[in-house]
Amino acid sequence: MSAVAARYEEFEALGVQVLSISVDSPFVHKIWDDKELSIIAGHPVPFPMLSDSSGAIGELYGVYDRVEGVNVRGRFLIDPKGNIQAMEVLTPPVGRNVSEALRQIKAYQLVQRTGGKEVTPSGWQEGGKTLKPGIELVGKVWEQWTVADSYK
C-alpha cells in the first residue's frame, strides 16, 4: 500500500479511484499509516482505507480466509461499469507490482477508448504495438507481433 501511496498521483492522473480494504479497524488503519505506511511512502496514504471487519467484502471477492480471519492480499481493477477487468491475489511473502497495475490500467483504458478496436498483446507498454482484432488477424498475428515485442 505504501508503494501505491507513493505513486498515487499517477493513479489519479489516470482517473482511477484507489481504495484499500482490510478486516482491520479504522483505528488500526490510522496507527498503521501514522507509524509505518506514511514513513515508507513519504506522506500519509492519500486514499480511503476501508474496514471490512466481518470479512463480507473479502468473501464477495473470494479473498477472505475464514480460518485466519483476514482478507488475503489482492488487487482488483474494476471498470466504470463495475465489472472486474483484472485481479491478482498473492500470499504475503510476495509483494504486488505497482508498475504492472499502472500498465494494466493504461491497457484497459486504451481498449475502452478504442471501443475494442485495438487490444494490447503480452508485455504491451504505453505507446507500444497494439493489435486490431478481427477475421483479418486470424492466423496472422505472427505478422504483426512477436514475443520479442513484449520486451520492448
The tens digit of pLDDT for each residue in 71-117 reads 998 999 999 999 999 999 988 888 889 999 999 999 999 999 999 99
Q: Are residues 89 and 129 in the same domain?
A: no
Residue 31 within any structural domain of the chain? yes
- The answer on pLDDT for 17 being more than 90 is yes
Verify that 87 and 129 share a domain, yes or no: no
CA–CA distances in Å: residue 24 to residues 76, 87, 110: 19, 21, 35
18 and 47 share one domain: yes
Instruction: Provide the domain limits for residue 46.
Output: 2-95
The candidate with the shortest Cα–Cα distance to 19, out of 49, 46, 44, 41, is 49
CA–CA distance from 125 to each of 36, 49, 94, 115 (Å)? 32, 30, 23, 19
| Number of domains within the chain | 2
Which is nearest to 77 in space by CA: 50, 96, 51? Answer: 96
Measure the CA–CA gap between 58 and 24, rounded to whole angstroms: 12
In this prediction, residue 4 carries a pLDDT of 95
Q: Is residue 151 pLDDT above 80, yes or no?
A: no
Residue 102 lies in a domain: no
Residues 6 and 81 in one domain: yes
In a domain, 101, yes or no: no
**Alpha-carbon distance 73 to 90, whole Å?**
6
120 has pLDDT over 90: yes
Neighbouring-strand partners of residue 76: 87
Same domain assignment for residues 136 and 66: no
Residue 106 within a domain: no
Residue 81 shares a structural domain with residue 14: yes
Q: Tell me if 25 is assigned to some domain.
A: yes
**CATH number of the domain residue 15 falls in:** 3.40.30.10
- Is 64 contained in some domain? yes
Residue 74 and residue 131 share a domain: no
Contact (CB, 8 A) for 85 and 116 = no
Say what the pTM is.
0.90
Same domain, 75 and 20: yes
Q: Are residues 76 and 127 in the same domain?
A: no
Residues with Cβ within 8 Å of residue 98, at least 6 apart in sequence: 3, 4, 7
Check whether residue 85 and residue 123 sit in a common domain. no
